[in-house]
Structure 1
Amino acid sequence: MVVKQFEWKPSVVLVGQPTTFYWNIENAKSCFGNNKPRTSSGNNGRHVYTYAQSKVTSWSCTDSRGNTTNLTASLTVEETPSTPRKPSISLVSGKVNVSWSKVNGAYKYKVYYRLDSNSWHYYTSSVGSSLLTNLTSSGTYQVRISACTVNNHCSDYSSISSIQISPPSMHSTWTGKYSSWWERPQYYNGTPKYSGAFGTYTHKHIPVAVYAGGDLFSVRTDNTQDDNFYVYVSKGTQEVLVHTINNWDDPHTNAVISILPHGYIEVRIASRGLAHKFQSGVILKSKTPYSLNFECVDGCNSQQVNYEAYPQIHYTGWGKHLIYTKYEVINGKNYRRTYSKVNGSEQRLSDLAQYTLSYYDSNRDMLCVASNTLLNASPDTRVNLNFMCTENHSGLWSKADYSILDLNDDSGRIVYDSNGKFIYLKDMIAVAGTQRVLFTESDSADPTTGTRWLSEWIRGEGVKKITQVGHNYSAGAYLKKGEKLYIVAGISNSTGYLSGNLELYNTDYNLVDTLQGDYSYVRRVRGIDGMAVMSQGTSDQTTRGKHYTLELK
């Protein structure tokens, strides 16, 4: 016995639409269904139903050997839901909130949206409210709703609701505190390699500010009072001096701050590892949770030397993970090598000299590291962009294509060959699981010559130019506002000097705001969106540096 057909066709119809039941059971001696005998093949003609229902047709057929087969065929009759009322629409914390009244008989809703007069897009919601996310552009967003059955029989569209989304603007606030001012004693035709406000220097110290327990915690430095170098920690409007380095002015020893489990605060003051200019790193810890009362726990005296430069602290699914640099003298040259440390276990990530950024994506439980390469160990010839990641850390690292990386193969991690142009790292982030690295690509280490572009590398897409900038060390940072990502670009105000106006770009690289001033080293605050700290000051030391906050509003 062979069942060639046993079905309602179509098996899903709307009220008032016709359907027919067909059957063909080859080699059946007898069939019985709906309490009466049936032929082995045929149809029941055209049927039209006047109300929504679900029914099952059940038969049994027997062949000449007495073998019996039970058969079922389902029919669903649906009624198109009524058209939803016009939805309500509002802006909440940078996200568009859409709500509508439920419709009887609706199994789901299709939420259609578009920007200005562009094409409509939709997503499905099972409830009467939803959030529009990942809106990357400003303009007028229109929304309409359609109510649908489980089998996608949908109502007419509701009336359209609209909302205007304006781009955020940048707002700076002086904290009332001063910060380090420094001039690198390396000159090009009388112009220093860089000079200006450096209280939040460098981009390779991560993070310098965190938001936790309802307060902003940040570190800043000030070397403008006398010949000493002072490190301060603030909690909201409170601030304390936590460390002093006598007869020192180099902000390479700026600190990072993090919140340990149970609310303890850790401050790591970076080591300066040059053979001719060494300064040990120092680690401080608060004596009680969220307090500004600190004690030294490492690097506290000449018997405790800490060699961790450019510290970058991440709290991951596998515990605290530190990425940092060690200065190692090889053939008379200072090699800046990248190291990884988990639970006290140290791992060197490359034999090459590098500068490094890192970012932990808590949504993916993935820590990624981006770096350039210092040719002949010289920081003035930093080229290429390298990239690697680790997940559920076991000492294994992967390439950008997710294959396993051999740490002895430095060429295997190159994602962008700069062809001899210089790469100055600025920031790193992951959005929707995709890593992005912000950097300046420059023709020259000489700040008075050449062309420079703020650019970004996007995993899976490659390198894209954003805007031309005036200095290798001009600011660059990622900031989020709601679901939107923005890029802060520092634009040098005078030839050869790094501080200047700030420009804000969206991810389509459209300019959306400009903030006038002499700003440098914009550093994203960890733990809150749309906020950063930065320094402000000119190339003139008499102005001193100032410590600022930056917010997107």
Structure 2
Amino acid sequence: MLKLLTIILFTAILFTGHSQNVSNKKMDGYRAIWFELGQKYADGDKYSGALGTYTAKHVPLAIYSEKANKTFFVYGGTSSEDERYLLCMIGEYDHSTGMVSKPTVVYDKNGVNDPHDNPSIMIDDEDYIWVFVSGRGRLRMGFKYRSTKPLNIDEFEKITEEEMTYPQPWNTDLGYFHFFTKYTGVRKLYFESSQDGVNWTEDKLLADIPVYKGEKSGHYQTSNVYNGKVLGTFFNRHPNGIVDRRTDLYYVQTADLGKTWTTVDGTKLDIPITEQNSPARAVDYASKSKNVYMKDMAFDAAGNPVCLYIRSYGHMPGAISQPYEWCVTKWSGAHWQTYRVTESDHNYDMGSLFIQGNTWKVVGPTEQGPQKWGVGGELAVWVSNDSGQNWIKERQLTENSVISHSYVRKPVNYKAPFCYFWADGHAHEFSKSEIFFGDFDGNIWKLPYQMKDDYEKPVKVY
């Protein structure tokens, strides 16, 4: 596994294509990055395609600001159609004018082509915009950047440089909180907090669950915040550090910026979580030989956590690992309940979960796309009117596409028409990748790939 990771990290430094750093420069359009892992199987790469809004462990990627009446969003961009060169980008959609600005390069990744280094976003109490740029273990460090002006994306300054992968920053009523991962031999979950964004606590280990004493561990997570105070995270575990055997589902939460942690029913937990059968475990999938792929989480109106994920029989793409079942696991107030939403054809299909009262919606590439057994597909909206128990397809958003749509992401405090956004690209072959956003009435707009003016209107395509 370590050898494979080394190969992946090494190959991610190819395709430079540039001789100068373009950080804090405006780009003349929205161009998303295409990527392939290079782990090949009979039915294609383990994952490849349009990964501009990748990964599911980068949370959040967009925030609506009522004060600015704008949605600010980050993504993995690139400089031109024929390059695979990662630029950590930020753009803005103005709800008053219906226009987008030219995007800004927050950080030029200096030749890295790997969207594992994509950014996440946070807005602080003084309306400064923060961009957390992911690193990759200790080979490539992570960064925290802050805008030099409130609610303005023209220029960013570096605040910290540190080891962090999969950044998940949250602004809460009690301060700023950051879930992230360190590659301490394997993927372990950490957290830190801050009162000003500049000075942070020491990194604290949250989860490290080996199966047997002496074995390795590893985890992936998704997180969210409820009512400005309760921070929750769902995570899986990697038996003996083997990421392709990811399984089980755990949940922990804190209401005091990580000073104390509990299960969903308030049972106090010692951290780090180290036991496989910890009371934090929500679902035992290991006994069912099921893999678990984290997608999204949300809270219902009562503050009960809900996780969206795909479960399957393995990591290999194609029929061998099917069914690829989209599921929600929720806390009922007394116990954990799991319901099936639908099926798709790949572990790395990714969508978002929206909860308003008893009406829950999932938006994602659940429909067969033009590249079978590849990442993404055609987008659909699934709805449940009984808090996740039963689901029906409300509408299909895209059809007859030439390339696949993937990694549908929801903004924090989303506002129509920018309710979710994603990128498209060929699932198996290098291709152009564009960025789209849409609303729940089925309207879809494409961000301009080439821009002449500082602000332009997106093009309505559906």
TM-score range, shorter chain: 0.7 to 0.9
Answer whether contact 1:252 1:272 (CA < 8 A) is retained: yes
Match of 1:322 in 2: 178
Answer whether contact 1:504 1:513 (CA < 8 A) is retained: yes
Answer whether contact 1:224 1:544 (CA < 8 A) is retained: no
State the AA in 2 paired with 1:533: F
Match of 1:217 in 2: 72
Answer whether contact 1:220 1:547 (CA < 8 A) is retained: no
Match of 1:497 in 2: 374
Alignment partner of 1:337 out of 171, 188, 204: 188
Q: Please, which moves more after superposition, 499-508 or 248-257?
A: 499-508
Over residues 70-114 of structure 1, what are the superposed CA-to-partner deviations in whole Å (9 max), with x where a residue is unaligned? xxxxxxxxxxxxxxxxxxxxxxxxxxxxxxxxxxxxxxxxxxxxx
Q: SS where residue 177 of structure 1 aligns? A: coil
State the AA in 1 paired with 2:113: D
* Displacement over 4 Å in runs of 4+: 480-483
Does residue 231 (structure 1) correspond to residue 119 (structure 2)? The answer is no
Alignment partner of 1:536 out of 392, 401, 424: 424
Q: Distance in 2 between matches of 1:317 and 1:341?
A: 16
Q: Distance in 1 between matches of 2:430 and 2:205?
A: 42
Q: Distance in 2 between matches of 1:409 and 1:197?
A: 35
Match of 1:437 in 2: 307
Alignment of 1:3-82 (within 5 A): none
Q: Deviation of residue 532 (structure 1)?
A: 1.1
The share of aligned pairs that are identical, in percent, is 24
Alignment partner of 1:523 out of 405, 409, 414: 409
Does residue 511 (structure 1) correspond to residue 372 (structure 2)? The answer is no
Match of 1:262 in 2: 126
Alignment partner of 2:348 out of 466, 469, 473: 473
Q: SS where residue 552 of structure 1 aligns? A: coil
Highest relative contact order (Cα 8 Å, sep 6+), 1 or 2?
2
Match of 1:166 in 2: none
- Going from structure 1 to structure 2, the CA distance change for 1:176 and 1:424 (only over 3 Å counts) comes to same
Answer whether contact 1:534 1:550 (CA < 8 A) is retained: no
Q: Deviation of residue 229 (structure 1)?
A: 1.6
Q: Distance in 2 between matches of 1:347 and 1:453?
A: 34
State the AA in 2 paired with 1:497: G
Over residues 513-542 of structure 1, what are the superposed CA-to-partner deviations in whole Å (9 max), with x where a residue is unaligned? 112242100111112256111111122545
Alignment partner of 1:427 out of 285, 296, 301: 296
Alignment partner of 1:464 out of 323, 328, 339: 339
Ranges in structure 1 where 5+ consecutive residues have no aligned partner: 1-174, 300-304, 330-334
Q: Please, which moves more after superposition, 458-467 or 378-387?
A: 458-467
Answer whether contact 1:524 1:532 (CA < 8 A) is retained: yes
Does residue 375 (structure 1) correspond to residue 239 (structure 2)? The answer is yes
Q: Distance in 2 between matches of 1:248 and 1:184?
A: 13
Answer whether contact 2:87 2:108 (CA < 8 A) is retained: yes
Q: How many equivalent residue pairs?
A: 365
Higher strand share: 1
Higher-Rg structure is 1
- Going from structure 1 to structure 2, the CA distance change for 1:421 and 1:546 (only over 3 Å counts) comes to same
Does residue 414 (structure 1) correspond to residue 289 (structure 2)? The answer is no
Q: Distance in 2 between matches of 1:455 and 1:295?
A: 39
Answer whether contact 1:209 1:257 (CA < 8 A) is retained: yes
Q: SS where residue 184 of structure 2 aligns? A: strand
Q: Distance in 2 between matches of 1:347 and 1:312?
A: 15
Answer whether contact 1:258 1:267 (CA < 8 A) is retained: yes
State the AA in 1 paired with 2:190: Y
Q: Deviation of residue 552 (structure 1)?
A: 1.1
Match of 2:439 in 1: 551
- Going from structure 1 to structure 2, the CA distance change for 1:231 and 1:409 (only over 3 Å counts) comes to closer
Q: Deviation of residue 279 (structure 1)?
A: 1.2
- Give the structure-2-normalised TM-score: 0.75
